[in-house]
Amino acid sequence: VIVPRGPIKAKGLLLSWIRDPDPCFIFEPKVLYRAAVEEVPLSDYQLPLGKADVLIKGSDLTLIGWGTQVHVLKEVAAWLKRDYQVSAEVIDLVSILPWDVETVCQSAGKTGRVLVAHEPPLTAGFGVEIAATIQENSFLLAPVCRVTWADTPFPHVFEPLYLPTKWRCLDAALQLINY
């Protein structure tokens, strides 16, 4: 199950998926259709399935997301560094099955604080699997925090109010730092 953060990732993961003998699903965040602008190489290339990308190195806090949330977390990391002198590591999970347990747990062990942001609801969202795995495998200074969609039905027009925004992620990150 792969979730690209932009067009370059989407093409490379899609080509890998097509050539992989196992079944695969690709979730394409609709918002990226119009928001993500990248020069996609014309050449044939593949990106590894099940390997997370560490987009920003950090030492105080680990921010984990996939798809659209990666862009939110990169903005939060910049904000934390600029205004609060907090060094946040940002990880794009890239695929949620299989997922890169080694990279995630290594980062969690290094920083001791983890925030997972994703668009599905809190209950039964994939963030709970990440949180449980981190708790089992890493020494932490604070409980893993999840910033997610609300656990409630909503009218489509109010979608922006329910998504994990940069404001909600920043607030959660600051609570983790001050835990």
Structural fold of domain 53-178: Rossmann fold (3.40.50)
Instruction: State the pTM of this model.
Output: 0.91
Q: Tokens for 97?
A: 């099955």
Both tokens of 166, joined, read 């940069």
Give the span between the Cα atoms of 22 and 49, in whole angstroms: 11
Averaged over successive runs of 10 residues, the pLDDT of the chain (179 residues) comes to 89 92 84 73 92 98 95 97 98 95 98 95 92 95 93 76 90 96
Distance, in Å, from the CA atom of 63 to the CA atom of 69, rounded to the nearest integer, reads 10
Any idea where the domains of the chain sit in the sequence?
53-178
